[in-house]
Amino acid sequence: MKKLYFLLLLATVIFMTDCGSERMTIKERITSLPSAKIDSIKADSMFSGAWKFSITQPVDHNNPNGPKFHQKVYLDFVSSDAPVVVVTEGYSAHGNYASELARLLHCNQIIIEHRYFGESVPDSIDWRYLTAWQAATDQHDIIQLFKPVFKGKWITTGISKGGETVMFHSYYYPNDVDVRVPYVGPLNFGPEDPRMAPFLAKVGTPECRQMVYDFQKLALEKSDVLFPMMQKLAEEKKWTFTRVGNAHVAYEMTVLEFEFAFWQWGYSCSDIPLNGTDREIFDFLSKVGDFTYFTDQGIIYYEPFFYQALTQIGYYGYQFDKFKGLLKYAADNGKPEFTFSAPQNVTLPPYDYQFTRDVDKYIKTRARHFIFIYGEYDPWAAAAADIDGNTECVKIIKSGGSHGSRINNLPPEQKELVLQKLEQWLSVKIKR
């Protein structure tokens, strides 16, 4: 009898605790957050309120009483009954906005800036703690903070590295959310993923691939004219190039980058000015290849990404052999060429080849309710997640699509499939 009484009492306590958690209002949650700063900000018209927080996080989640940092988070509120979309940014969170899924579902939204980017940086950076698990635990803890407020289902989403972040978070915390929608997120199998070069050798049409190569070759052959134009632009923009070595290296690296960027961002071969003026050739190289990527200023922004790329999440390499005799400054030195972008005076740990293989196995065997979206011509699709017959997940490849492939620009049949899966897994009705 005592045992039965104890069990009834325990059940009552659990029920009251659950109900109490569910009854927490958004106001109560906001005022009780472990946040160094809370600001009410202007909301998109679809939301009734929006806030920016600086959530206090441990630098090392294995040492919660150790050093802390403040992580930038945005919250957009519709109602406590609506679903919640969590945007797991892979980089900085550049302001508050309504994501595609928040608009489709007309629901609440939380945007989480990735640790070590933007405003979410410790006072003293210890690079050892920039790992997928530490970042996933940041996201897990933030989700748990808001679980008592919202009764609807939860979705994580992110674009590119943010899409990777969705996969990594779910790998470590598979029960945090109900649905996951990573856009164009690669799962690389090395610091220079070996699948990239074969992909680029077949992407698009042979005629277009030849035009891309011819443009790169032309840009190298005309470097005596085009390089001074870059130097002048660098002086105007106050760019420096010490990290890559010098401006000559940066110019040639931009030419090498051109091929990947051209296909990534969905440019048309009709745009390539093979017979253009020097100015037209220079402007197109600058627009597509993006000189800033190899400036000291650009490298500083991407430095945390390159640390991750060189230690755990991978990247791609350049095809130096295609331009033998034309490259005078940039050269294959037998190691990932972008090591110049890694944090300076830091000993990098050995690359963890097992991590993404483990995530790959998880996606093929245990992952649930993922909707992967890729563009056919996007080189990152070479490293696309492989669901391998996992019927609990859906993989969409947009024909001719680029890194800008999204739900709203999918062909009607593919878009309808995505909407149907969202409705099925979230138990909602989406307005067509």
Q: Are 73 and 110 in contact (CB under 8 A)?
A: yes
**Average of pLDDT values for 410-415?**
98
Burial annotation 417-428 (CB, 10 A radius, 16+ → b, else e): ebbebbeebbeb
Question: What SS3 state is found at 164?
Answer: helix
The better pLDDT of the pair 334, 181 is held by 181
Amino acid 334: pLDDT = 66
Structure tokens at 91: 């980089």
Which residues lie across from 76 on neighbouring strands? 50, 109
Q: Distances from the Cα of 108 to the Cαs of 40, 73, 105, in angstroms?
A: 16, 13, 9
pLDDT at 290 (0 to 100)? 95
Tokens found for residue 399: 């024909």
> Which pLDDT score is estimated for 257?
97
Q: Which two tokens stand for residue 116?
A: 């070590």
Which range among 13-27, 43-57, 67-81 shows the weakest confidence by mean pLDDT?
Answer: 13-27
Calculate the dihedral angle through the C-alpha atoms of 303, 318, 272, 265, rounding to the nearest 10 degrees: -50
Mean pLDDT of 416-430: 97
State the Cα angle at 364 between 361 and 368, rounded to 5°: 115
152-170 average pLDDT score: 98
3-state secondary structure of 229: helix
Cβ proximity of 195 and 189 under 8 Å: yes
Give pLDDT tens digits for 211-229: 999 999 999 999 999 999 9
The one-character DSSP state at 78 is S
Per residue in 172-220, pLDDT (tens digit) is: 999 999 999 999 999 999 999 999 999 999 999 999 999 999 999 999 9
CA geometry: angle 306, 85, 309, nearest 5 deg: 10
User: Of all helices (H) and strands (E), which one includes residue 77?
Assistant: strand 68-77
CA atoms 290, 73, 96, 415: torsion sign: positive
Average pLDDT over residues 118-137: 97
The token duo for 199 is: 């992909």
Fill in the DSSP letter of residue 186. B
CA-to-CA separations, 149 to 29, 52, 388, 415, in angstroms, rounded: 7, 17, 37, 31
Among 250, 238, 236, 228, CA closest to 297? 238
The answer to whether residue 13 scores a pLDDT higher than 60 is no
Tokens of 275: 């017979």
Are 373 and 184 within 8 A, CB to CB? yes
What is the per-residue pLDDT for 266? Answer: 96
Distances (CA, A) of 4 to 8, 11, 15: 6, 11, 16
Residue 340 has pLDDT above 90, yes or no: no
| Domains of the chain and CATH, by start | 24-190+354-426 (3.40.50.1820), 196-341 (no CATH)
Compute the average pLDDT of residues 9-29. 56
Q: How many CA atoms lie within 13 A of 140 on its CB side?
A: 18
Q: Looking at the predicted structure, is the pLDDT value of residue 124 above 70?
A: yes
Tell me phi and psi for residue 157, to 5 degrees: -150, 160
Counting residues of the chain whose pLDDT is more than 70, the rounded percentage is: 94
Let me know: does 186 contact 192? Beta carbons within 8 Å: no
Q: State pLDDT tens for residues 52-94.
A: 999 999 999 999 999 999 999 999 999 999 999 999 999 999 9
**DSSP state letter for 320:** G
DSSP 334: S
Mean pLDDT of the chain: 93
List alpha helices for 97-205, DSSP H: 100-105, 132-146, 161-172, 196-200
**What are the structure tokens assigned to 110, written together?**
């939380």
Predicted local confidence at residue 339, as pLDDT: 85
Question: What is the C-alpha separation between 264 and 261, in angstroms, rounded?
Answer: 5
- The residues facing 39 across adjacent strands are 52
Structure confidence by residue, pLDDT tens digits, 303-324? 999 999 999 999 999 989 999 8
Sole residue written with tokens 């923009």? 237
Using DSSP bridges, classify how beta strands 370-375 and 179-183 pair: parallel, antiparallel or unpaired: parallel
Task: State the pLDDT at residue 367.
Answer: 98
CA neighbours closer than 13 Å in the CB half-sphere of residue 134? 22
Give residue 17's pLDDT: 39
- Eight-class DSSP state of 3: H
- pTM across the whole model: 0.92
pLDDT class for 100, splitting at 50, 70, 90?
very high
- The yes-or-no verdict on residue 21 having pLDDT over 80 is no
